[in-house]
Structure 1
Amino acid sequence: MEETKYLYGASGHCKVIIDVLKSNNVNLKAIFDDKPKEAEIVGIPVINASKINDINNGQFIVSIGDNEIRKRIAEKIKMSFFTAIHSTAVVSENSKIEEGTVVMAGAIINFGAVVGKHCIINTGAIVEHDCKIYDYVHISPKAALAGNVTIGSGTHIGIGASIIQGINVGAGVTIGAGCVVINDVPDYAVVVGNPGNIIKYNSLI
């Protein structure tokens, strides 16, 4: 018997995940949120997160776009997670996608790619062959990773960014919108421009 499905986080990102699930006829029981602003979203009840302990079983996706917050919430939920892949995404059967990750409409994940836990592969993003994406990464809409790219945990790749083949991007990195990355990027760097240049470093948390 299939386990009941829940989301945690009633944000705009949550609404997109609802569409991902609907594309595969997956029904949600409820959405949990720390500070609910509405009673329901498209007929799905939004429940205060303090009630989460009333659930005996079920599977979750943390529907929060911010990587750090998503990690914090995922680590405190004591139940299992599921993966959501839009019906229009193109995902190689020879790739691997771990729990809690969402793949949005029109995204492409090619042969040999490995995507970690609680990642977001957003609308129209491209993850080419043999890429390795660690946990809690967000690949924004229309971003493109060429083959054999590695992305460290907690990194955010901005909308429309491009990363050439074989590049290693560290953990906690921010790649700006439209950036073209042609060199390896160290942990926590903030990179913008074409070609990409480091302008500062993110704070360690």
Structure 2
Amino acid sequence: MRHGPVELRLIRPKDARALQHELLTNRRWLQPWEATLPGAQTGIDMRVSIRRLLQQHRDGTGYPFVMEYGGEVAGQLNIWGVMRGSLCSATIGYWVSERFAGHGITPAAVAMATDLAFTELGLHRIEICLRPENRPSLRVVQKLGFRYEGVRRRFIHIDGDWRDHLAFSLVREDVPDGVLARWSQGRVPADWADVPPTDLPSAGLPG
């Protein structure tokens, strides 16, 4: 999948070296948003991580992608926690290297991934959960018009502790013409991702 210089493609075992390099050189940039394991030290071994992600892909429980910009590896995006049956839902998570920030890579990749989920993967609902302090990710859901749903208290173990998250989602009926087309054509609703002031103090933001 491609939008301008941004390409979203399935992760490959040979991506391990480039991804690990980006993770190691972006530790300060990424660490505040990285998932951790309670009571355990976490290291970076992309070869092991990619093997697990590709197994999830084979099992149909996850879809791991690499984000490229101008042919260079810029980050990673995963459609994870895929639920079938009466739910048909999943969550999108992502990271992008600091040197590629501000180029519109993440919104383009998230839009393409959401469209793929709705049109080819047979999913009905996509969710994005982010820390309220993560302003760049908040701008992504605002740009794409994900609907704000509320605060999830101490939801995911991030950077060594349980952190509150803000939840946003889209369902297929929200974007009949696709997320990418709606964003590219400037038709994103202005207020869908608005966070009510009453939620900000409980989420750890200034009111």
TM-score range relative to shorter protein = under 0.3
TM-score, normalization: structure 1? 0.27
TM-score normalised per structure 2: 0.27
Q: Which has the higher contact order (CA 8 A, sep 6+)?
A: 2
> Which structure: greater helix fraction?
2
